[in-house]
Structure formats: structure tokens, C-alpha cells
Chain A
Amino acid sequence: MARKVGIVGAGVTPFRGQWIEKTYYELAQMAAMTAMQDAGLEPSDVDAAFYGIYNDIFERTCIPEHPLQGIIGLQDKFGIRISNGGATGAYTMSAAHAYVAAERFNTVLVLGVEKATDCFDFQSMSATPEVIKTIGWSGDSFFEQKIGWSASDSYAEVVLAYMDEHPGDLKPEVTAQISSLLSQQVRTNPYAQRQFDQVTPEEVMNSRLVVYPFKELEICVYTEGAAALIFAEEETAKAISRNTGQPVVWITGVGEANEHSFAGKNQKVMSRIMSDYLGAHRAYEMAGIEDPIKAIDIVELHDAFVHQLEISMAEFGFVPLGQADALVEEGIMTPGGRLLVNPCGGLIYCGHAVGASNIMSAWSARSELIKRKLRAALVHGTGSTVAQYAACLILEHE
């Protein structure tokens, strides 16, 4: 029988478009220190480190985690780096959970960090084209990189295939409303990159297409920052909780899936995000959740694109496939609705510091569960070409 695992501490750095003042060493140390202090712990109390860092090129070094082991005070202890595309943070939490549940460690640090905009395109004298080129090295190197594969166009493939099957769904007015809603929710997140960037649905509708069908204000932004969590097994977690006065938020379900990266028969079904479906339903099964719409109160999902947010919500079982616009049209995620979706502003407004993003989402879910006295949250990460990877966690507050 696996042991119960809980979150007993959390911390994030401010998420910013660029941190000229800090390297990833400093960002990682800030987040690790904040999470340990939140749990009332010192480095000597922590048994192991799980690093979520997506892209070596962003950090400008291979095995970018190696200097961090000493910087966070965990020298001579276990340290492992997880890199799973956009889902890096969620997969890092999944790995840390497994080690604690399996009695390898009692107390561990989950630490996500990413730089991005050190990458710079000297032709356009701007960072973004070089940042997306750097991500472009993640595409298939034999058949796709050289014909312009990008993260955006690969997710757009999935979205357009979904729209081929469900032509009445993902209406531009609805995606614009969701983006606008997220921009309102981010106001209360002082760590967000775009805390005061509120936009109207009209502004979203009028923003220019970047990759059809995605508009500029429907896409996550590139971010630099770090996020950290402390996981502990049941007895340790309860002791830490008594010490800090903060309730334990338990991780009751974890589920993951990586799909095929090529499309066609026996391969990826382009109109689905099966990774999200399988990841979420495996997590529900572990948590004993039969009806997610009744059981879940908060969703902190990886909104790389608003359209994908809608499809992911359908794959999670909150709305039927083909009727994802009900999220807004039936008020499911609008203020006062059944679900609170991305109260942190999501990756579109809080920011997408890749390895840290899903960990930031868990930081937000934990804090919202405690603050609002709600019961359960779903935390999600998606990544790789055509939304191939997903990892989901169920957090519960007793």
C-alpha cells in the first residue's frame, strides 16, 4: 500500500518576461528558500530534490540542475531532473509523489525553474522569434523541424482537427471571453507577469493572428521564474502542519499519458487530446473520483492556448466533447459558476516559465483550496508536439 503524500509548503518567484537582475541559480534558490520557509523547514530537513527544467538551451547549459544541488543546500542527497516538454512541472510532481509514496523519502523538494528570453534574435532585434526557434528544436528532427514545426503550429493542428469534427464549437467569441476572464482573474496574483494587463473580449477578437486559428491574446506568454513545493509523507506532513498552522493539501490522485507523436491509423488521433483524457481519468481513478464535475472545485490547467484549454476541459469530463463552449455559455467557469478555472490567471496571464509553470499551478491550487475552504482541485500539465504528453494531479483539502 502506497503512503499518503501531502503538500506542506510552497513558494514562487515573481514571473516576468525577463529577469536581467537574476540568473536561474538565484531564481531557483529564491523559490526553494520560500517553499522551505513556508513549511518551517531548513535544507537539512529535506531528503531529496526533484528538478523540473524543460529546455537546456534556455538555461544555456546541459544538465542545468547540477549547480542547483549545492545552491539549495541539498549536497550529498538525492537529486533528479525531469524534462517532459510543457508537462515538465506536472511530471516532476508525479515523480516526487511516487518516491515519497514508495517510502524512499519522507520530505522532498519539487523545484521548477526556467529562463527563456536570454535567447535573442539579432535579425529582428527581439527575443520572441529566437525563443520559439529554441522550442522548435523540440520537434522531430528528421521529418518536421526543417519544415517549420513549432509548438504553436503543432497545437493548432490538434485544435483545427477538433474543429473539423465539431465545427460549431470553440467559437471566436467564446475563446475571446475566456481570455478576457483569465485577464480579470490574474488581478489577485501579485506574482503574475501580466497582473495588470486586463483585456476586453473585443480586444482579444481584434488581436492579430499569430498561427491560425490562434490570436495574439489567446496564447501563453514566455516567462522567466521559479516555483517550488515541499511534499511529505503522512506523519511528517501532519507534524509540519501542526508546526506551521497550515493545513496539509493531500495529493490523492496522479495520472499520466504520452501519446504517439505521429498521426494516422494506430497512431495519434489528431482531433483528441487523449493524453489529457487518460491522465485525468487515471488520476480520478486513484483518487476514487467517479463524477469530476461534482468532485472538483478548482482546475489549474496548463492553458498554452485558449482553444486547447477548452478541449482539455472536455477531455477532463467537465463538458462533452463538441460542447466545450458550454464552459462560458452555461456559466460553468464564469464568475459564480461550478468551477474555478485558473484563478492564478493561467499561463496566458500569470506566465509560462515552462519547467516552473505546472508547479506554480499547484502552488495556486493549494493556496486557493485553503483560502476558499474548498475540497478538491485538478492540476494539469500538457506538452510536446501535438499535445502528446499530459500529467494530472488531484489535490484534496480535508
Chain B
Amino acid sequence: MVEKKVIPSEYIPDVSRKTVTIAGKDYLVVNDAMFTFYRRSMGELSQFFLALRDEKKVLGCKCTKCGILRVPPFMTRCPDCNFALTELVEVEQVGVMNSTPPITYFATSMFQHMAPFGRGRVILRGADTALSIIVYTTTGILVPGLVTKGTEVKIVFRDNRVGEIIDIFCVPTSELAKEQIARKGLQESEIDWTAAVEPGLPVADENDVATYKDALNAMQDIVVQMNETERARKDTAGWKRSIQVKTTGGQFAIEIDDGNIRIEEKVLEAPDFVMVCKDPKVLLEGLAYKGSLTDAVIMKRLWISENMEFTTIFKLDRTARSLARASKI
């Protein structure tokens, strides 16, 4: 087993310093860090985290006087009852969202690999208060409207649990089988994550085919310019992806290979992921920097088969911006 570091090495910059000149004056700029390591006890919260890890149970604390059941059990006495003692009790693993969860697209440096993700609060059956939790969907990208206030969700446990809040997340029960909803301690590997449903496309008429051909030609012209622009090439440097793109009027492939982008009409045998957009102009406008592909995915104008591939969408958006900015200069 590979030993994991508390701070992954890719986050740690090299020792370095540079001189920046502003209005004829030099300023010294230094790579630096504040770092503190911890060996921290979870104290009275230990039972909650150990129950997640070892028993796949969610615990709350119930006031022995007023009976309020708080999840998570973040206090041992009830401040509403003049600090009457609480006791740990198990709660059910199905509940409803307390309010519509936000979705983070532009994340902090530690969570960029996770974006987009929803973080909401679930009131589990039997509980009176809300537990902060990551919200996933099995259907691809989490888009606004999919999970809202009152949506019923199921707690799912990670296969590899460490005794932290990241051991659990939730998915809408509407995406699970009855038996899965009923099972206590449902694990991520017991869910079919590949069941993302590719949207169907209407039968193409002549106009659709003509629109497709025009858009394809225009996109091919744009990627030629991208490949010739150093600033745009940097955005996909070191990145390799093959993407099957399906539109009403026809399908084609986008192949990204270390700064080079190729668009051609063909069907890939094993693409890294699939994009579906009824109207190819959505993609064209994104590449031409007249709209954002990120927003096209969010607003359901562009569908992608793998959540993780949002990174590729960001890179294509950035490449489009770089080309547009380079063209202005």
C-alpha cells in the first residue's frame, strides 16, 4: 500500500525567489509556507466517526430532557435544557434535504479535482437537525434542479473509510433501487455509477445536417488557430483526451494531445468521454469565446458522460479565452 502524506507532494512548491520591478523599483517575492502538523483527538466526537468507519452507522445525540435529536452529535449536553445530558442514538440513513444545496464549480485549490460538487444539509429520519453532506448523482454532472429542498436522499458509505466525515455522501433515492434504499450501510461500490443516461437526439432533417457541417468547418478553423497560438497551446499542454461528440446533424471526434487539438468526422472506438449537444453551435460558440462551455454543461445545453471531465471542459474554455485574448493583441 502506498503511504499517503498529510500534504500531497504536488501541492508543495519549490524554494524560489524572484525580483519584480514596478515603476523602476525592485521588490523581492519569496515562495513560502506556514505549516503546522497535528495529531488531533476527535475527543467526544470519536464515537460518531468510529461508528461511520467501523459499523457504517450514523449517530446523533438525543437530549434526555427535551428529546431533541441532533445530527451530527456535536455536543454532549443540551444548551436548550440548561445543559441536560444527551445520549448517543443511531438514526436512519434516509432523509430529506433541508434546503436546495449549492453547487461549487470553481473550487478551492484542495477541491478542484472534485468540482462540480454539491454540499447540502440532510435531515435524516428521526433527527431534528441537519447534517452537512456532499451530494452526488449517478446520472453524470450535478446540475441545478436535480436536488432541491425536500429531495429524499440516501447516505452512502465509501468503500475505504477512514473515520472522517468524508466517509459518507448522499445520492437521491430516486436513482436507487428499493432494496438499496432499504439497506443499511450501502456502499459506493454497490451503486451503478455508469448508469449515466445519454440523452437521445431527434432525427435530423436537412437543416440540421447543414448546420452541423457549417459548425464543424468553423470549429476546425478555430482549432487550427488554437494550435498556432502559443498561449492557447499552453492550456492543454500535457493533457490527452479523445472525445466523441454527438449532435443532431452528425457526430465527430475532438482529440486533445499535449497542446494540439484535432477535430474530424469519425467514430472513436474507445473515447475517454462522450459529449452530446443537440445544437453544435453551442460547442462552436464555446470554442469561439462567445459563450462558456462550463455554463453550457451547467445549463444542460451540453451533456458529458463523465463528471470528472469537467476539468477538460474548463481547459477548452480557457483555450478559447486564450485564443480570443491573443487575437485582440
Q: B86 on the interface (CB 8 Å rule)?
A: no
Cα separation A161 to B74 with both chains bound (whole Å): 23
Determine whether B298 belongs to the interface, using a CB cutoff of 8 Å to chain A. Answer: yes
Give per-residue flags for B117-132: 1 if the beta carbon is below 8 A from chain A beta carbons, else 0.
1011101000111111
Within 8 A of A (CB), among B184-221: none
Cβ–Cβ contact B99 & A160, under 8 A: yes
B109 contacts A264, CB within 8 Å?
Answer: no
The residues in A between 108 and 130 inclusive whose CB is less than 8 angstroms from any CB of B are: 120-124, 128-130
| Shortest 5 CB-CB contacts between residues of A and residues of B | A264-B129, A156-B102, A161-B99, A129-B109, A133-B108
- Cα–Cα, bound, A146→B98 (Å): 20
Contact of B108 among A129, A164, A212 (CB under 8 A): A129
Min C-beta distance of A257 to chain B, whole Å: 16
Q: Chain B's nearest CB lies how many Å from the CB of A75?
A: 27
A132→B144 contact, CB < 8 A: no
* 16 residue pairs A–B, Cβ–Cβ below 8 Å: A122-B13, A124-B109, A133-B109, A144-B119, A146-B165, A147-B132, A149-B132, A163-B100, A164-B99, A209-B298, A210-B106, A211-B102, A211-B106, A212-B102, A266-B129, A270-B98
Question: Chain B nearest CB: distance from A334 CB in Å?
Answer: 28
A161 touches B149 (CB 8 A): yes
The reply to whether B106 and A133 form a contact with Cβ atoms under 8 Å apart is no
Binding site for B on A (CB under 8 A): 20-21, 57, 60, 120-124, 128-130, 132-133, 136, 140, 142-144, 146-150, 152-153, 156-157, 160-161, 163-164, 206, 208-213, 262-267, 270-271
Q: Check A160 against B102 for contact (C-beta < 8 Å).
A: yes
Residues of B within 8 A of A21 (CB): 22, 25, 27
In the bound complex, residues from chain A placing their C-beta under 8 Å from that of B294 are 208-209
Contact call A208/B22, Cβ cutoff below 8 A: no
Sample of 7 further A-B pairs with CB below 8 A, known A132-B107, A157-B99, A264-B128:
A124-B112, A136-B108, A147-B132, A147-B134, A164-B149, A264-B123, A267-B130
Chain B residues with CB under 8 A of A60 = 32, 34
Asked whether A132 lies within 8 Å of B108 as measured between CB atoms, the reply is: yes
Question: Whole-angstrom distance between the alpha carbons of A133 and B104 in the complex?
Answer: 13
A209:B80 contact, CB within 8 angstroms: no
B111 cross-chain contacts in A, Cβ below 8 A: 148
**Bound Cα distance from A20 to B104, whole angstroms:** 30
Chain A residues closer than 8 Å to B312, beta-carbon distance:
none
Q: CB of B224 within 8 A of chain A?
A: no
Of chain A, the residue at the smallest CB distance from B121 is: A263
- Compute how far the CA of A163 lies from the CA of B102 in the bound complex, rounded to whole angstroms: 12
A148 to chain B: which residues have CB within 8 Å? 104, 107-108, 111, 114, 117, 119, 134
For B10, the chain A residues whose CB sits under 8 A away are 123
How far is the CB of A288 from the nearest CB of chain B, in Å? 33
Docked-complex contact A20 and B22, CB < 8 angstroms? yes
B30 CB, nearest partner CB in chain A, Å:
10
Q: How far is the CA of A264 from the CA of B111 in the complex (A)?
A: 27
Q: Which B positions have Cβ atoms within 8 angstroms of A? A: 10-13, 20, 22, 25, 27, 29, 31-32, 34, 42, 45, 68, 70, 72, 74, 80, 98-112, 114, 117, 119-121, 123, 127-134, 144, 148-149, 164-166, 169, 291-292, 294-295, 298
| Other-chain residue from A123, A129, A161 in contact with B100 (beta carbon distance below 8 A) | A161
How many Å from the CB of A176 to the closest CB on chain B?
A: 14
Find chain A residues with CB under 8 A from B169 CB. 147
Evaluate contact between B103 and A130: CB separation under 8 angstroms: no
On chain B, the residues within 8 Å of A271 by CB distance are 99
* Residues on B with beta carbons closer than 8 Å to the beta carbon of A266: 68, 80, 128-129
Given known A-B contacts A57-B34, A150-B107, A160 and B100 have beta carbons under 8 A apart: yes
| Residues B144 and A143 in contact, CB atoms below 8 Å apart | no
Q: B121 contacts A270, CB within 8 Å?
A: yes
Residue in A closest to B79 when the chains form the complex, CB atoms: A266
Residues of B within 8 A of A130 (CB): 108-109
Known: A124-B109, A124-B112, A262-B74. A208 touches B132 (CB 8 A): no
List the A residue with the shortest CB-CB distance to B299. Answer: A209
Q: How far is the CA of A348 from the CA of B117 in the complex (A)?
A: 25
The one of B25, B110, B121, B295 that contacts A209, using a Cβ cutoff of 8 Å: B295
The answer for the CA separation of A41 and B300 in the assembled complex, in Å, is 61
Given A20-B29, A211-B102, A263 and B45 touching (CB < 8 A)? Answer: no
Kindly provide the distance from the CB of B16 to the nearest chain A CB, expressed in whole angstroms. Answer: 10
Are A263 and B109 in contact, CB atoms less than 8 angstroms apart?
A: no
Given A209-B295, A263-B121, verify A143-B106 contact (CB < 8 Å): no
- Expressed in whole angstroms, the Cα–Cα distance for A133 and B68 within the complex equals 34
Given the complex of chains A and B, what is the CA–CA distance between A136 and B119 in angstroms? 14
Known contacts: A142-B45, A210-B106. The answer to whether A270 contacts B99 by CB under 8 A is yes
Measured in the bound complex, the distance between the Cα atoms of B102 and A60 in whole Å is 31
Residues on A with beta carbons closer than 8 Å to the beta carbon of B112: 123-124, 129
Alpha-carbon gap, A128 to B99, bound state (A): 28
Complex: A214 Cα to B75 Cα, angstroms: 33
Q: A208–B115 Cα gap in the complex (Å)?
A: 15
Q: A143 touching B165 by the CB < 8 A rule?
A: yes
Q: Which of A121, A124, A129, A209 has the most CB of B within 10 A?
A: A209
Q: How far apart are A115's CB and chain B's nearest CB, in angstroms?
A: 13
Q: Using Cβ atoms and an 8 Å threshold, which residues of chain A touch B144?
A: 212-213
Cα A124 to Cα B10 with chains together (Å) = 11
Give min CB distance, A124 to chain B, whole Å. 7
Cα distance A147–B121 in the bound complex, in angstroms: 12
Chain A residues with CB below 8 A from B104, complex form: 148, 150, 152-153, 211-212
Once A130-B109, A147-B132 are accepted as A-B contacts, the answer to whether A20 and B165 lie under 8 Å apart by CB is: no
Task: Name the residue among A21, A121, A213, A263 with the largest chain B CB count within 10 angstroms.
Answer: A263
A263 vs B98: C-alpha distance in the bound complex, in angstroms?
A: 8
Taking a contact as CB atoms under 8 Å apart, the answer to whether A267 and B129 are in contact is: yes
Do A147 and B165 have beta carbons less than 8 Å apart?
A: yes
For A161, the chain B residues whose CB sits under 8 A away are 98-100, 149
Given contacts A142-B165, A161-B100, A123 and B11 within 8 Å (CB-CB):
yes
Known contacts A129-B107, A148-B119, A263-B121; is-contact A153 B11 (Cβ 8 Å): no
Task: Please measure, in the bound complex, the distance between the C-alpha atom of A157 and the C-alpha atom of B29, giving whole angstroms.
Answer: 38
